[in-house]
Amino acid sequence: MMSSRAGSVLLRRAGSRLFTAAAVSPAAASRPLLAGGNNVVQAVMVRLMSTSSPAAVSEATKDEAAKASKEGGDKKAVVINSYWGIEQNNKLVRDDGTEWKWTCFRPWETYTADTSIDLTRHHELKTLMDKIAYWTVKSLRFPTDIFFQRRYGCRAMMLETVAAVPGMVGGMLLHLRSLRRFEQSGGWIRALLEEAENERMHLMTFMEVAKPRWYERALVITVQGVFFNAYFLGYLLSPKFAHRVVGYLEEEAIHSYTEYLKDVEAGKIENVPAPAIAIDYWRLPANATLKDVVTVVRADEAHHRDVNHFASDIHCQGMQLKQSPAPIGYH
């Protein structure tokens, strides 16, 4: 208590001397800096003014940014100066020379989907593991049919939030295994992470088509939390079972997208223009529609079906994934 009073008294006395410096005589003002004239007071005042609060600095930065924004017109690109020497390439262009506006993927990551793939291919139920995996997926389809019925836009959104999990989990666990055992993965880490990223891009596309309601977002959080942990444990216990489950899950995805296409073709769902992100990601024509988007997404799911059944077959033959080259870029 005594120290705080003493501090306040000292501050009042020092403040009165500092801020009454304007009353210094002309003679004192003419003294040199080291002689203790008015220049000393001015130097102190400059020092005090330079120690601005973070809020003041932030406001100044905002003013400068606003000014730069006005001068730059409609330009949205933000250039961040960094000590670390990381260069930002903001001048990416498409094949036709127009500006590339996406930061979530680059032009060299785009591709043309192979829609000629066999959509009817099915892994026959041969072992007890196959039957358990198949009926596990079928049991998950039942509540989905009840909840979404024929609202395929929202159904696709929910499907992709689940379908993007296995590749990330499998890639992560193979990555940790590679580190523990000092061994290569045969390219399977990259292949599975590619699958996860591809499924995530499906989600980003359907977010433009179907706007999820608040309770659907809540359902996504719940389902993702449960499925991630269940699949994580399942992959630890039996990778061949986990990949077989995903293979059958992708077969169900193909069926769902086929029904989606039927409703679009029948006019039950409006065949709206394709989202811009889909046109660039799959290199679709500028006049592409929702039908084109669903077609290429279904083809991707067919490729994921093949990859996961193939991975399960490798394990079923008593080998590890690293012993067979991964189908990188298969989709």
Q: Which CATH number fits domain 127-141+151-323: 2.60.40.1930, 2.60.40.1760, 2.40.110.10, 1.20.1260.140?
A: 1.20.1260.140
Residue list for the binding site = 160, 199, 202, 250, 301, 304
Return the number of other C-beta atoms located less than 10 Å from residue 260's C-beta.
23
Query: What is the rounded CA–CA span in Å between residue 312 and residue 245?
Result: 9
The domain segmentation of the chain, as residue ranges, is 127-141+151-323
Burial of 8 (0-12, 13-18, 19+ CB in 10 A): exposed
pLDDT of res. 79: 61
pLDDT in tens, the chain (331 residues): 444 554 554 445 544 444 444 444 444 444 443 444 444 444 434 343 444 444 444 454 445 545 544 444 444 556 666 677 777 666 788 877 788 888 888 888 899 999 999 999 999 999 999 999 999 999 888 777 777 777 777 788 888 888 999 999 999 999 999 999 999 999 999 999 999 999 999 999 988 887 778 887 888 888 889 999 999 999 999 999 999 999 999 999 999 999 999 999 999 989 999 999 999 999 999 999 999 999 999 999 999 999 999 999 999 999 999 999 988 877 6
User: What pLDDT sits at residue 84?
Assistant: 79
Q: Do residues 113 and 100 make contact, with C-beta atoms less than 8 angstroms apart?
A: no
Nearest to 219 by CA among 306, 148, 142, 280: 148
Q: Which amino acid is at 233?
A: L
Please name the residue ranges forming H helices in 73-213.
128-148, 152-181, 188-209
**Nearest 5°: phi and psi at 188?**
-75, -30
| pLDDT recorded at residue 31 | 46
Q: Name the binding residues for Fe cation.
A: 160, 199, 202, 250, 301, 304
Q: Is residue 32 helix, strand or coil?
A: coil
